[in-house]
Amino acid sequence: MEFFDALPLVLGSYLTFGAVSRRIRLFLGKVRGAQEPAFRVFHHRALAEELGGSASEEGGPLVIRPPHSKRLGPFPPAWARSEWFHESPPSLREARDLLLAGAAEQAALLAREEPERMEELFTWAVLVRIWADQLEAGEEVARALGEVAEDPALARRLLAWVEARRAEEDRGPTGDEAAARALMHLDLLGDAVLETPAWAALPVHLALLRRSWLRLEWDLFDAGRRLKAAEGKHGESAIVHLLRAHRAAALGDVNHAADHLARALYHGRHDPYFAAPVLCLEGLEALRPALFAEARAILEEAPKIDTREAGALESGPSHRGPIA
C-alpha cells in the first residue's frame, strides 16, 4: 500500500483513538467526582458581591427575611441587610411590594422613573428568588426589567444567572438547554462580562457543565477559549483556578486538578467554597494528603449556618397580604 493510499486510514485511526480516549477519560472524571455539586454549583455569592449591594437596616420591621438556600447557603452578606427587606424603604416601596406579590411588569412600569434605584431593586428581587429556589419568578423579574430599562445589559446578566441555576440543577438535555440560553445572554454582553472575576468565569463554568459524549471536542474547545479569555483578565483569581481544576477533573486528571485546587484554596483565602471540591475527588486523599487534610480542616472550622441559634437568616413568609 502506497503512502498516500494509507494516509486516510492512518489519520482515521488516529482521530478515532483520540476521540475514544477522551471519552474514556470523561467517564473516569465522572466516576472520580467531577460531576459532584462542589464542581457543578458556581460561587453564586461572588456573583452577587460583584453586582454591589445595599446595606441599610433602616426602614422599620422586616417584610420578609433574607432566604437561606440549602444549595447556595446564606443570603449574600452585601445584600442581606438591604433596605428592600424592610417595611419602608426610602423610595419605590410600592414597586417593591408589587415584586413581592409577583407583579413584576407592573413594578417595572412604576419604577422606571428612577432608573438606578430600579436596577438595584430588581437585582435584589432576582437574588431573593434565586436564593429561594423560585427560578421562574426570578426570570419574570429579569424580563420585566429588560422591557423598560434603557440598557438591557443588567437584565441579560440576571437572565443568564437564572438559567445558570437551572443548568446546575437539571442534568441531561434540559440542563444543557439552560446552559446554552445562559451562554447566549452572556455572549450578548461582549467584553463587559470579563470586567469582574466571577462573571468572567461563569461562561467557562457553563461550558464545562454542558459537556457531552457526542460533542465533547467542541465543548472542550469552547470551554478552553472561554477560560483563556477569563485568564487574560483574572489569571490569579481563585475562581479561575477552580475552573482549571474542574476541566482537569472532568478528564479524569486528578493530579493536575489537585495542583489547581491548591492554588484556588490559597488565592481564595481558605474560603470553604474552594475546599469542598478537594474532598469530592476520589483518589486525591492518597495523592495529596496534606491538601486533603487542609481542606477538611477548613470545612470543619467553617461556621455552622443552618440554625437560627448560629445566626442564620431563614426564609419566612411576608406579613403582608396579596396586593391587588
> Alpha-carbon distance 193 to 242, whole Å?
18
pTM: 0.83
Q: For position 34, what pLDDT does the model report? A: 59
Q: Which tens digit of pLDDT belongs to each residue from 267-308?
A: 998 899 999 999 988 888 888 999 999 999 998 876 544 333
Q: For position 254, what pLDDT does the model report? A: 85
Q: For position 250, what pLDDT does the model report? A: 83
Residues whose CB falls within 8 Å of the CB of residue 31, separated by 6 or more in sequence, listed in order: 252, 282
Q: Residue 114: left (phi > 0), alpha (psi -120 to 50), or beta?
A: beta
Q: Give the number of other Cβ atoms within 10 Å of residue 170's Cβ.
A: 14
> Alpha-carbon distance 143 to 102, whole Å?
13
Q: For position 57, what pLDDT does the model report? A: 59
> Alpha-carbon distance 275 to 299, whole Å?
7
Q: 31-302 has which fold?
A: 1.25.40
Segment 238-265 mean pLDDT: 90
Q: At 241, list the grid cell.
A: 483556578
DSSP 177-234: HHHHHHHHHHHHTGGGGGSSHHHHHHHHHHHHHT--STTHHHHHHHHHHHHHHHHHHH
Q: For position 6, what pLDDT does the model report? A: 44
Residues whose CB falls within 8 Å of the CB of residue 25, separated by 6 or more in sequence, listed in order: 251, 252, 253
Q: Report whether pLDDT(312) > 90.
A: no
Q: For position 18, what pLDDT does the model report? A: 45
Segment 4-31 mean pLDDT: 47
Q: At 194, list the grid cell.
A: 470579563
Q: For position 243, what pLDDT does the model report? A: 94
Residues whose CB falls within 8 Å of the CB of residue 159, separated by 6 or more in sequence, listed in order: 139, 142, 143, 146, 181, 182, 185
Q: Which tens digit of pLDDT belongs to each residue from 100-141?
A: 999 999 999 999 989 989 999 999 999 999 999 999 999 999
In three-state secondary structure terms, 272 is: helix
Q: For position 190, what pLDDT does the model report? A: 94
Domain boundaries, the chain: 31-302
Mean pLDDT of the chain: 82
Segment 168-191 mean pLDDT: 93
Q: Report whether pLDDT(195) > 90.
A: yes
